[in-house]
Amino acid sequence: MPSEPIRNTTARWRALDVRHHLSPFADYKSLKQDEGGSRIITQAEGIYLTDSEGHRLLDGMAGLWCVNVGYGRAELAEAAYRQMLELPYYNTFFKTATPPAVELSEKLAEIAPEGLNRAFFGSSGSESNDSVVRLVRRYWNLRGQPEKSHIVSRTYAYHGSTMASASLGGMVGMQEGFGLPLPGFHHVMPPYWFDFAEAGETPADFGRRAAKAVEDKILEIGPDKVGAFIGEPIQGAGGVIIPPETYWPEIQRICSQYDVLLVADEVICGFGRTGRWFASEAFGIAPDLMTLAKGITSGYVPLSAVLVSDKVGEVLESGEGEFAHGYTYSGHPVACAVALANIALIERDGLVEKVRHETGPYLAECLQSLSDHPLVGQVRSFGLLGAIELVEDKASRKHFEPLGRVGTLCRDHCFQNGLVMRAVRDGMVLSPPLIIETAEIDALVETARRCLDLTAKDLGIAL
């Protein structure tokens, strides 16, 4: 049992949390009525979290898809400390720059796919996707085609929480009640074979059909009005939706044919998570704009960026007048210094190669061992992104009703058994830190199976 002082401290924090703290994506009425209150995380090291009552949890989500180099890296804390002593803050407005922002811009150009040689900084993926909308419209205005202001996205896409980025996204729950999406944002089916394929349709055929939905939408709106298509190479928060191999080559062709900018949102996929620096490399995507955040600093401090292709950058630089957009913290020197140190750690420790050749394949193998479980309709993974689909009937891929109830049951069992996994509808998703070892993957998957068993028992399903 925890000691009395710890119990009192936890109770106090929980009371203050309910009284004063409005958490994101929270049901405030339910949270206030929950006698247990919030879990208070107080420490972290490596791939493990510790809460205020001393419980240890394997963080299978790397925070929110972001703590790529793991917790407790002194190198990142020291980089922030040194920069704070030297120059804690200055803006990058009014023909001004700082060394960390300039040097990080160069480093990103070095590791990014060919042709992405300019960076526009923000503090979050939401901010940077908001900037994407501005950049797309600025580009077409300078090209003399201001009517090309519409942007096509996908159902279950997640591109952030600002009014513009939530409009880019395809999460209905983030739009209802907020007057979203804003005009000019359109959504088509995602490349999600498990839920959207027709009977007998192969993944390859489905991939082509999902891409054609983008083409059909461009033609419906009018190619002269569509400025961009945006997509995550792998849809993370939408449920780790891994597209068939036929999908992205068709998307690339379609965007080229109709003169539509292609935006790759690499906020989740970037900085080694797929076994490449960026998932665009793995899928052969040549983006005109690429959004980065999360793994850019491994979540240690807020930072994001939009990488801009030469094609777009040269037009921006040729236009008259200023690009009237930016943030107080664009290119924050401390955040950029931490990002440089973070990228250096990823390079030094060979984490990209480790994910590609060792831990990514091992995670895929271990997850496949769960396929025999009566609740599991499909497992899928790419690098250190994975998903386990929970179904009522394997043959028909039928989900339980109401959708999301069983996923929540399983998620709660995971928390109670020392594993952080996230439920998206009835899919259990994971993205552990890139430093995870094979023995720790064994422990993760063993705990996941135990929690699947507990969920089946709740549902009265025999094992």
Concatenating the DSSP letter of every residue in 30-81 gives HHHH-SS----EEEEEBTEEEETTS-EEEETTHHHHT-TT-B--HHHHHHHH
What is the three-class DSSP state of 20?
A: helix
**What's the pLDDT tens digit per position in 212-232?**
999 999 999 999 999 999 999
Closest to 129 measured CA to CA, from 315, 289, 260, 333: 289
Q: Has residue 138 got a pLDDT over 50?
A: yes
Residue type at position 168: L
Q: Could you read off the pLDDT of 394-424 as tens digits, one per residue? A: 999 999 999 999 999 999 999 999 999 999 9
- Tell me the β-bridge partners of 429: 387, 422
Q: Is 94 exposed, middle or buried (0-12, 13-18, 19+ CB in 10 A)?
A: exposed
Which tokens go with 138?
């600025």
Predicted confidence (pLDDT) at residue 206 exceeds the cutoff of 50: yes
Contacts for 252 with CB less than 8 Å, ≥ 6 apart: 262, 284, 285, 286
Tell me how long the chain is.
463
CB of 299 within 8 A of CB of 124? no
Q: Measured between alpha carbons, how far is 179 from 163 in angstroms, rounded to an integer?
A: 9
Beta bridge partner(s), residue 154? 188
Residues 436-457 have pLDDT tens digits of 999 999 999 999 999 999 999 9
pLDDT tens-digit map of 40-93 = 999 999 999 999 999 999 999 999 999 999 999 999 999 999 999 999 999 999
Number of H helices, E strands in the chain: 17, 15
pLDDT of residue 288: 98
pLDDT range class, residue 5, cuts 50, 70, 90: low
3-state secondary structure 115-148: CEEEEEEECCHHHHHHHHHHHHHHHHHHCCCCCC
Report the C-alpha gap between 444 and 458 in whole angstroms.
21
Task: Lay out the sheet containing 41-45: strands in order across.
Answer: 41-45, 48-51, 56-59, 419-420
Contact 284, 252 (CB under 8 A): yes
- CB atoms under 10 Å from CB of 284, counted, come to 12
Q: Rounded distance, CA 125 to CA 159, Å?
A: 7
**How much is the pLDDT for 31?**
83
> Which domains does the chain show, CATH number per domain?
39-69+350-459 (3.90.1150.10), 74-348 (3.40.640.10)
What does the alpha-carbon distance between residue 43 and residue 290 come to, in Å, rounded to a whole number?
33
Q: Are strands 185-188 and 150-154 parallel, antiparallel or unpaired?
A: parallel
**Of 242, 235, 240, 251, nearest in space to 285 by CA:** 251
β-bridge mates for residue 230, sequence order: 263
**Mean pLDDT calculated for residue range 233-262:** 98
Are 270 and 113 a contacting pair, CB within 8 Å?
no
Residue 112 makes CB contacts below 8 A (sequence gap 6+) with: 277, 278, 290, 307
Does position 36 have pLDDT exceeding 80, yes or no?
Answer: no
Is pLDDT larger for residue 100 or for residue 319?
100
Intra-chain end-to-end CA distance of the chain, in Å: 33
Q: Per-residue b/e over 446-456, b at no fewer than 16 CB within 10 Å?
A: ebbbebbbbbb
Q: Encode pLDDT of 279-314 as tens digits.
A: 999 999 999 999 999 999 999 999 999 999 999 999
Q: How many CB atoms sit inside 10 A of residue 49's CB?
A: 21
8 A C-beta contact, residue 449 and residue 370: yes
Mean pLDDT, all residues of the chain: 96
Residue range 139-196, pLDDT digits in tens: 999 999 999 999 999 999 999 999 999 999 999 999 999 999 999 999 999 999 999 9
Is residue 434 within 8 Å of residue 68, measured between CB atoms?
yes
- In this prediction, residue 32 carries a pLDDT of 83
- In the predicted structure, residue 463 carries a pLDDT above the cut 70: yes
- Read off the tokens for 178: 């907020």
Q: Closest by alpha carbon to 243, among 227, 166, 125, 251?
A: 251
- Orientation of helix 99-111 relative to helix 333-348, angle to 10°: 40
The per-residue pLDDT for range 307-345, each reduced to its tens digit, is: 999 999 999 999 888 999 999 999 999 999 999 999 999
pLDDT at residue 1, rounded to an integer: 46
